[in-house]
Amino acid sequence: MSVPAAYLGVILIWSTTPLAIQWSAQGTSFSFAVMARMAIGLAICLALVAATRTAFPWDPAARRLYVISGLSLCVSMLLTYWGALHIPSGLISVIFGLSPLLTGVFAALWLSERTLTPQRLTGLAIALAGLWLIFGQPWPGDGHATLGTLAVVAGMTVQALGLVWIKRLNVRASSLAITTGSLGVALPGFVLVWVIADAARWPPDTTLRAAAAIAYLGVLGSVVGFTLYYYVIKHLDAGRVALITLVTPVSALLLGQTLNAEWIPGMGWAGIALIGTGLSMYEWQALRQLRRPLPRA
């Protein structure tokens, strides 16, 4: 696989995922949309594990990893899907762009990693100021935009905490095995929420766009996207990986405006600009590596 192609693939998938999440719940429900997506993803992962004969660890440490990863995935996605009903899709990508900052904070507190330099702390403060501005805006929607934003922030926080917890466990397993185990643990939770919220009813008026978005997220968002991302991490330096989190919010915002007629208030753009500035400062040392040529494979 070409490294540039994998890199562009990650940017494309991550840029379109927030919009696909929003579309997948239109004509269905957020609980059915996320449950169907994860069921498709798990089916594909199981098929890949069988076809490639990938080792699937089942010792106590591996089972603990699957449980922690699966529970954090379940809570994070449920919060994000509900929040996506009430805020512009591009804003979801901006909020999840804060994930590296929060992951760094959790790693410093929990893993005693000395990564919070004065420059990074300044970047974190600027990004949080941008988030504060975003919370104060009258976003278009049904009056639950503030709660929707809070739900997505909470989902991003749970995801970051789960990542640090997984790193703390330090279990050796392939990315496919981890993804499969995580989905296996998370899927019953998604089904339970679907049963409680929708009485396990199949959506009667599922649109073609919603069905296509669910399939897209199940195949590309849940399987291909993670596979390409792990491939990129393996072959590229930290600067180019960090650049993905700076590029995807911008492209997601443009897609939301172009394809979904999303409107963002002026002060909202100011908050987004502050978040981008804070992220750039936080990842500045890594971004300095961008002068190196991009490998072909």
pTM for the full predicted model = 0.88
Q: Evaluate if residue 113 carries a pLDDT over 80.
A: no
Name which of 119, 65, 124 is nearest 100 in CA terms: 124
Q: Residues 195-211: what's their mean pLDDT? A: 88
Give percent above pLDDT 90 in the chain: 42
Q: Residues 43-58: what's their mean pLDDT? A: 94
Kindly indicate the confidence band of residue 142, based on its pLDDT and cuts at 50, 70 and 90: low
Q: Residues 191-214: what's their mean pLDDT? A: 90
User: How is 76-109 classified by DSSP, letter by letter?
Assistant: HHHHHHHHHTTS-HHHHHHHHTTHHHHHHHHHHH
Q: Residues 70-80: what's their mean pLDDT? A: 95
Residue 196, classified by CB atoms within 10 Å of its CB into exposed (0-12), middle (13-18) or buried (19+), is exposed
The gap between the terminal CA atoms of the chain, to the nearest Å, is 6
Give the Å distances, CA to CA, from 214 to 27, 101, 288.
12, 29, 38
Instruction: Kindly report, residue by residue over 212-245, the tens digit of the pLDDT.
Output: 999 999 999 988 888 888 788 777 766 677 778 8
